[in-house]
Chains A and B, each alone.
Chain A
Amino acid sequence: MSSHAGRSLHVDLSASKRAGREIQPETMRQYLGGAGLATRLLVDALPPRADALGPDNVLAFAGSAFSGTPVPAGTKFALATKSPLTGFLGDCISSSFWALALRTAGYDALVITGRAPRPTYLFVDDDVVEFRDASRLLGAGCFETEERIREELQDSAVRVASIGPAGEKMARFACIGNDRGRQLGRTGPGAVMGAKNLKAIALRGSRDVRVADLDGLLAASLDLIRKAQGTATEKYRVLGTVSNVLTLNRLGILPTRNFRQATFPAAEKVSGEYMHEHHTEKAVACAGCPIACEQVAKVSAGAHAGTRVSLDYESLYALGPCCGIDDFPSILKAAALCDHYGLDTMSTGVTVAWAMECAERGILTPAETDGIALAFGDPEGLLALIPRIARREGIGDLLAEGTRRAAAKLGRGSEHFAMAIKGLEMPGYDPRGLKTFALGLAVGTRGGCHNRSPAYEPDMKGKVDRFVAEPGRGRLAKEQEEFAAVLDSLMLCKFLRGCFSDFFAEAAHLYALATGLDLDAPALREAGERICNLKRAFDVREGAARADDTLPDRMLEEPLPDGVGAGTRLTRGELALMLDDYYAARGWTAEGIPTPETLARLGLGDLAASLEGP
């Protein structure tokens, strides 16, 4: 017996057809599930260089070996698609009951291709798949869509992943929302669903989940649960990630005003501590999670009274300090609007910050911004732009393209401060003060991402000098990427990582207890390397090259302006040195292409031909 279902569901929207396929145990051994499996399914199903907003693009969802088992913080699912924002891998992870429903419906994965002839939502009810009319749902926000689908299906237990107006309008950083407040947030998967005329995916499952060794898994899970409720995760539970603001500000790496500063004078007013004192209502957990990191905040008075939203650090940074905004109720309102419309909060904030800087420099005039006054620190401009971006109205149509495309269209020197990596807007850490992380951001397969590259760890923990670029950082970045890839494919929450003494050994043991697959720590490490190379191979196939492994001009041409590291530069020469070091550590060419030998060693030899140049 195995916690894996051993099945994937394939849905062709164009033909309104469905088919079940078997997933071999060996495939799971190689790719584990989650991000690894989803990426492999994408690579196999997507024609090279397909239009991300065309019918050939693929939405490959894959779940967790641990959904429906006693393993804590493992009820998650991944999505792999071609991103309309970056043109490269769009891989996302979300959590909670939709993941569980996918598994109890009997599937490890759901692969969607084609384009529905009319607005549609899928209802997967174990083996039954219905293509239901979604025309009456058009224009509804994500939360409203979930509620109305449950009402229509007359079952409050149905789990829904949906897009809001932003996805319908194919805003390039539209997200997919699920379980009222979770998101497949980054790289624009909502736009892919919108392009497919797919408003939502509703799931209901009735199947049991069986595991290979229930007694063993229960014992191991109880031990992990105890640790997950202890000191290793206490900071998430009590304060949440919003408490990053003051720490990063003190370390001089809090991106402020579109990365023009690295400290925010009003940091106390937008801190996690402030939020707890004035706005936090409760901490909430995902399904099957004992950590409860999600901090729900509300606004009780003032213009935004009644706003209630869960807020994490990245949303707070992007909608707050990155836009120079220090009004917490406005930040909460902005986050709530993004959740409603189905927009990535990070890309929204960073793109608006870019627009604010354009306005400040006179590059965008009031006539071009629909009369909306845009200025750093003014929340009204941010709040006015969010619906416009979602609906692609006026200036919103330009901004909905994302920072890189918007800057390319506008020109006028705005490209210099478009803060995106491979087209994905940057996370909330100034890489000039975290140089190993700078490398991790530059080489990230989905663009600049702290989640796929925890290369900040050696920097922040003082294992290396964070202000120095030197040989050896390539190996560190590689190791951190592979660690993240394994977590994302086993689908264990990253906040659980402090609960393991020997992560690879213990995680392999958990996986074996659940699935019956006899993976050991070295095999698990190799799976991480395999998955990272798979992701890179996908990007290269879609046109990625060394030139894409870079950082925005501002990061490479301007020194850190303030804070502890004031004056520190991250030069193109330093980045080049670290890139060479990373490619060598990876067994890639000097141009960042996985070699046939490396691919063959990892069982990816079938991809070598697709990476050969013209």
Chain B
Amino acid sequence: MKVTVEFFGLARRLAGVKEVSLETADGSNLRDILSHLREKFSSLSPSVIAADVPELVPPYMLSIDGRTVPQDLGFQPREGDRILVLSSMVGG
């Protein structure tokens, strides 16, 4: 399954790229994708992805194409989904 991950804010700065395409096993969930990202971009830990487990560090979240924010990392994206790594920031 191929998905594209887009980075915003500090996540982009740390990853060093705006986006990346990932090839993952069919049936992968968001936790699997975080594992891939942690492996590919070690710089995302510990600020965005926890260093020891594939979990996001608050206040970061994953959005599916900017429309929905799955509340459970067990969510399975679909082929071609664009997954945004961003934080809820408003102001100032």
Listed in ascending order, the chain A residues whose CB lies under 8 Å from chain B are: 231-232, 234-236, 238-241, 243-244, 246-247, 250-252, 272-273, 293, 312-314, 429, 450-451, 454, 456-457, 460-463, 465, 467, 494-495, 498, 563-565
Contact = CB atoms under 8 A, between A and B. Distances in A.
A231 B87 CA distance: 12
B52 to A, nearest CB: 14
Contact of A293 (B9, B63, B71, B92): B92
Interface string B62-92: 0101111111000000000000101111111
A313 B92 contact: yes
B27 interface: no
Contacts of A252: 66
Given A232-B58, A247-B89, A314-B91, A239 B9 contact: yes
A250 B8 CA distance: 9
Contact of A239 (B6, B13, B46): B13
Contacts of B47: 231, 234
Given A231-B46, A235-B10, A250-B8, A462 B89 contact: no
Given A313-B92, A450-B91, A460-B88, A243 B9 contact: yes
Contacts of B10: 234-235, 238-239, 243
A241 to B, nearest CB: 4
Nearest to B65: A564
A244 B66 contact: no
Q: How large is the interface on B (under 10, 10 to 19, 20 to 34, 35 or more residues)?
A: 20 to 34
B67 to A, nearest CB: 6
A456 to B, nearest CB: 5
Contact of B58 (A456, A460, A498): A498
A461 B69 CA distance: 6
Interface string B15-57: 0000000000000000000000000000000110000000001
B61 interface: yes
Contacts of A314: 91-92
B89 A244 contact: yes
**Interface-central residue, B9, B67, B70, B90, by most chain A CB under 10 Å:** B90
Given A235-B10, A246-B8, 5 more contacts: A232-B58, A235-B89, A239-B10, A313-B91, A463-B71
Contacts of A272: 9
A46 B58 CA distance: 43
B2 interface: no
Contacts of B90: 241, 244, 313, 429, 450, 454, 456, 460
A564 B66 CA distance: 7
A14 B26 CA distance: 77
**Interface-central residue, B12, B58, B66, B67, by most chain A CB under 10 Å:** B66
Contacts of A465: 68
Interface of B: 6, 8-10, 12-13, 46-47, 57-59, 61, 63, 65-71, 84, 86-92
A239 B57 CA distance: 17
A461 B62 CA distance: 9
B87 to A, nearest CB: 6
19 contacts: A231-B47, A235-B59, A239-B9, A239-B10, A239-B13, A241-B91, A243-B9, A243-B10, A272-B9, A273-B12, A312-B91, A314-B92, A450-B91, A451-B91, A461-B61, A461-B88, A495-B92, A498-B59, A565-B67
B74 to A, nearest CB: 15
A176 to B, nearest CB: 17
Contacts of B6: 250
Contact of B87 (A235, A429, A456, A462): A235
**Interface-central residue, A234, A451, A498, A565, by most chain B CB under 10 Å:** A234
A450 B13 CA distance: 26
Contacts of A495: 92
A122 B8 CA distance: 46
B80 to A, nearest CB: 15
B88 A564 contact: no
A465 B71 CA distance: 12
A251 B91 contact: no
Nearest to A565: B67
Nearest to A493: B92
B64 to A, nearest CB: 9
A231 B49 CA distance: 11
